[in-house]
Structure formats: structure tokens, C-alpha cells
């Protein structure tokens, strides 16, 4: 009995994803989607649309689609986009078990990334139930950041598998990388506390904030300074070693060159938003750049801590 055309098309698409190069492209696409859902969710919070859909999983009682209300449509659109990300993460997770060569290093991050996206569903239901409590709204963001980190690791490993690259560990860069990544993670977490202590913490009608805004900002700024100092140390060490003849991964040079101005842009946006009474448009840009800076820094730090083992073939040397 012949298979239905739709089934055959889906099967061919999945087969393409199970080739090493096909899965590499899928992993990169997943990272892009995991980043895009961060400013998408932030837009819901910053426009005060978190309770635009006041029911779950329906938007309104008895209706999946919202009525003619802008806030409801903003929230509903974000839900649809988040659902698409979950489906894509599920497909990537399934493909990770069938990639040619069966590399185990792809399965765990693919599964965790999928679990993190699915975890947004019950967390979203609880957040709506508790009227957008700032702690729950912040947890939404942090879970997205965690999913993005794991998705970035998946893309890095998928690239190595597609290019046939094996890596060793470098203790010196590994220690500095862990310290710098931890500092950047602390920047993100402290930034969440700042947001949860300000006027854009969730529902505009909620006045019970997590912390005093000035105190939260004070801590956040000091954490940012610590991260910037560590990032400067990493940059100095790379430049010094390069001048001594050390050959660095081309991706480290390219992404690192983009990361440095991203840090400057992020610091400037933070200063602008704080000195201008926190306009939501600037905060949205701040969140989006944070979502870019996080995987970019992880790529650089991971590649520095995991140098290529032995000689590369011609194809991998170009990447």
C-alpha cells in the first residue's frame, strides 16, 4: 500500500536532517529560533500584554483565538511562535537519535533543549494563574536563556560532527571560560532582578515587586563591571597568544570580533534605558542584544576551551 504524499514528504525531510550536514543546519536554525522567542516573549511583557489572553490553553474562556484586542493578539502570536519553536525542537531531538554515525554528544543537548521549550507550557500556565508574578515572568526568560545555551552547544557539536573534528580540553582556557561564562550568566540573572523590580515586571497592575529598583540596579552594574573585566582579560589573552604565533579557531576570531562591540552596545543600552525612565522600546532592544551576546560569548569561550585535536582536514580547516 503506497504511503500518503504528506507522510513521504515528512519522511524525506527527516532523512535530510539525519545527515551530518543537514543536522548541522537544523541545529543552527534551532539556535536562531531559540533566540527569536526571547524578544518575542519580552514584547509581551513590555507592552503589558501578558494577560491579554487570560486563560490557558485557550486565549479566552471558550475561545482559542482572541477577540479584536491588540494585547490579546500580541500574547496569542507569541504563543503560536513558541509552539512552532517547540515543534522544531522536537524534530531536532528526534533527528539527533538518527544522525549518521549516531554521535552520543548530540542526543543530550537536543533532549534538554526540547525539554526546556516544553517546560515553558506549564510555566506559562502557572504564570497566568498567578497574575504574572514577577518571579514567574523572570523564570520564563531564564528558561529561554538556558534553552539557548544548550541549543548553542548542540550547534557547536553538530558542526564538529559534520566536519569530522575531534577536540581536546585546555585547562587554562577552560577555567577562564567557565569563570567568564558564569559572570555573564550572573549579569543576565541580575538583569532579571532589575526588571522584576521595575515598572515592566509583568502586569502593570502588580505593585508587589521583588526588590527595590535602585538596589537591584546597583548590584547589576557591579556584576556587569566584573564581566566586562573578564571579557577584556579574555581578549587580551587571545591577542597576546596570537602575536606569539598561536593559531586560533577562525570562528573564535569572527564571533569574537562581533562580541566585543555587542558588549559595548549592551552597556550603552542599559545606561540609556536607566537614565530615560526605562522606555520599553529600549528595554526590548536590550533584551534582544542580551540574547545575541549570550550564545556569541559561549561560542568563543567553548571553542577556546576545546581546541582541535591533531591535524584538521582541508574542509574542516576552512571552518
pLDDT tens digits, one per residue of 162-193 = 998 888 888 889 999 999 999 999 999 999 88
Tell whether the model's pLDDT for residue 312 goes beyond 70: no
For position 241, what pLDDT does the model report? 85
**Max avg pLDDT among 56-70, 195-209, 258-272:** 258-272
For position 315, what pLDDT does the model report? 39
Tell whether the model's pLDDT for residue 67 goes beyond 80: no
Q: How confident is the model at residue 294 (pLDDT cuts 50, 70, 90)?
A: very high
**What whole-number percentage of the chain has pLDDT above 70?**
85
Select the more confidently predicted residue: 24 or 280: 24
Residue ranges of domains in the chain:
1-165, 167-311
Secondary structure, 3-state, 61-108: CCECCCCCCHHHHHHHHHHHHHHHHHHHHHHHHHHHCCCCCCCHHHHH
Tell whether the model's pLDDT for residue 303 goes beyond 80: yes
Tell whether the model's pLDDT for residue 314 goes beyond 60: no
Cα separation of 240 and 301, whole Å?
Answer: 16
Cα separation of 227 and 182, whole Å?
Answer: 9
For position 316, what pLDDT does the model report? 40
For position 174, what pLDDT does the model report? 93
| Torsional sign, CA 163, 169, 173, 177 | positive
Answer whether 144's CB lies under 8 Å from 37's CB. yes
Of 36, 258, 227, which is closest to residue 148 (Cα–Cα)?
Answer: 36
- In terms of Cβ atoms closer than 10 Å to its own Cβ (0-12, 13-18, 19+), residue 131 is middle
3 state SS of 167:
strand
| Cis previous bond, 253, omega within 30 | no
> CB atoms < 10 A from the CB of 309, how many?
11
Mean pLDDT, the chain, integer: 85
pLDDT tens figures, 111-141: 999 999 999 989 888 887 777 778 888 888 9
Tell me the C-alpha to C-alpha distance, in Å, between residue 69 and each of 49, 72, 81, 113.
10, 5, 18, 33
Amino acid at each position: 500500500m503506497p504511503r500518503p504524499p504528506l507522510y513521504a514528504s515528512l519522511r524525506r525531510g527527516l532523512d535530510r536532517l539525519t545527515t551530518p550536514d543537514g543536522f548541522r543546519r537544523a541545529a543552527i536554525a534551532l539556535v536562531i529560533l531559540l533566540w527569536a522567542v526571547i524578544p518575542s516573549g519580552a514584547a509581551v511583557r513590555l507592552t503589558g500584554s501578558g494577560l491579554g489572553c487570560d486563560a490557558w490553553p485557550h486565549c479566552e474562556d471558550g475561545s482559542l483565538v482572541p477577540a479584536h484586542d491588540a494585547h490579546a493578539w500580541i500574547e496569542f502570536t507569541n504563543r503560536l511562535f513558541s509552539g512552532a519553536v517547540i515543534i522544531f525542537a522536537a524534530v531536532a531531538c528526534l533527528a539527533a537519535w538518527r544522525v549518521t554515525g549516531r554521535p552520543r554528544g548530540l542526543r543530550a543537548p537536543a533532549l534538554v533543549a526540547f525539554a526546556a521549550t516544553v517546560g515553558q507550557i506549564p510555566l506559562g500556565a502557572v504564570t497566568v494563574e498567578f497574575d504574572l508574578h514577577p518571579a514567574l515572568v523572570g523564570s520564563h526568560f531564564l528558561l529561554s536563556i538556558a534553552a539557548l545555551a544548550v541549543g548553542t552547544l548542540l550547534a557547536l557539536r553538530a558542526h564538529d560532527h559534520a566536519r569530522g573534528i575531534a577536540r581536546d580540553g585546555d585547562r587554562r582556557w577552560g577555567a577562564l571560560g567557565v569563570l567568564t561564562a558564569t559572570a555573564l550568566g550572573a549579569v543576565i540573572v541580575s538583569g532579571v532582578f532589575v526588571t522584576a523590580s521595575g515598572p515592566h515586571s509583568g502586569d502593570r497592575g502588580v505593585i508587589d515587586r521583588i526588590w527595590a529598583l535602585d538596589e537591584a540596579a546597583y548590584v547589576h552594574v557591579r556584576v556587569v563591571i566584573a564581566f566586562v573585566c573578564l571579557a577584556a582579560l579574555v581578549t587580551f589573552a587571545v591577542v597576546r597568544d596570537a602575536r606569539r604565533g598561536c593559531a586560533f579557531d577562525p570562528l573564535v576570531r569572527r564571533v569574537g570580533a562581533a562580541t566585543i562591540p555587542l558588549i559595548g552596545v549592551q552597556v550603552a543600552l542599559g545606561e540609556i534605558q536607566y537614565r530615560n525612565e526605562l522606555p520599553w522600546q529600549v528595554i526590548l532592544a536590550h533584551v534582544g542584544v542580551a540574547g545575541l551576546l549570550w550564545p556569541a560569548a559561549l561560542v568563543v569561550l567553548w571553542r577556546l576551551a576545546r581546541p582541535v585535536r591533531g591535524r584538521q582536514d582541508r574542509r574542516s580547516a576552512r571552518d
